[in-house]
Amino acid sequence: MELRAPSHWQTLDFVSDLHLQDSSPRTLQGFVDYLDTTQADAVFVLGDLFEFWIGDDWMDAPQDAHRQCLDALARAGQRLALHIMRGNRDFLMGRSLMQFCGAHDLPDPLTLVFGGERIVLSHGDALCTGDIRYQEFRQLSRADAWQRNFLAEPLAGRKNRMLGMRQQSEANKKASTTFFDVDDQAALALLQQCAATTLVHGHTHKPDHHTLDAQHTRWVLTDWDLDGSVPRAGVLRVCPSPDSAAAKPPALRWARIAV
């Protein structure tokens, strides 16, 4: 899928991996403050907004963190273009959540056309091709039948199952000596398939800017954690460079903004 930025968009912000939950109040407040004050024309949340999500009917009895976040997103959705992509933690976010927030539902991947450049947006988990166990679960859990069966269970049962899956995932990470990063060849193939030059993704919690070859790069977004011993939170911002106003198309300026 392709999204062409309207001509009035001048500043775009990308965030991911907030993992919001009641046990991270400072992270939640930092994100709410960011949403209430950003001057960006569009904000793209590229997955893992929540630590987990068990279905949109949870909105009727959410955790405090969920309610505060959803209300802040709804305020943001009234004054800027808000786009939300599902991640590996909150892949069950649905239409009701998007409508409440006034958000555009982003497929993964999406090609964004902005400032004359083609930029691929993704959460990034599908590109960690070396993690075979996770890729098998990802394929299973994205199937309509699996999701229908899961969402048919009572809320309490769903929450317990999701917590169990999270605990098992963390145990698997601790037992493994291998970190499964995004595969550069898979990233390059995706960019070539989309006729794009730049990939923006999250998921790995390892913010960086990688050069794939002479024409292709990928930006990795930071995760957010303002409750830990090493606080971190940030936005990747892109806008036309003021030094290239006469260029056709104008060059883009990328910057990491600390929150």
pLDDT of residue 178: 73
- Report residue 34: phi and psi, to 5°: -60, -50
**Arithmetic mean of pLDDT, 170-180:** 72
The answer to whether residue 218 scores a pLDDT higher than 60 is yes
d(CA 168, CA 174): 10
Residues with Cβ within 8 Å of residue 95, at least 6 apart in sequence: 56, 105
**Arithmetic mean of pLDDT, 21-30:** 95
Q: Both tokens of residue 59?
A: 């909105």
64 — pLDDT class (breaks 50, 70, 90): confident
pLDDT of residue 87: 97
**Cα-only R_g, the chain:** 18
Average pLDDT, the chain: 93
**Arithmetic mean of pLDDT, 164-174:** 78
Q: Both tokens of residue 20?
A: 């919001």
pLDDT of residue 165: 86
What percent of the chain lies above the pLDDT cut of 90? 86
Q: How many CB atoms lie within 10 A of CB 250?
A: 17
The answer to whether residue 193 scores a pLDDT higher than 80 is yes
Least confident of 8-22, 119-133, 155-169: 155-169
Kindly tell me the sign of the dihedral angle through the C-alpha atoms of 85, 87, 90, 92.
positive
Strands (E), 64-178: 81-85, 104-106, 110-114, 117-121
d(CA 77, CA 168): 35
pTM over 0.85: yes
**Structural domains in the chain plus CATH codes:** 2-258 (3.60.21.10)
Helices and strands: H and E segment counts in the chain: 7, 12
pLDDT of residue 248: 60
The answer to whether residue 61 scores a pLDDT higher than 60 is yes
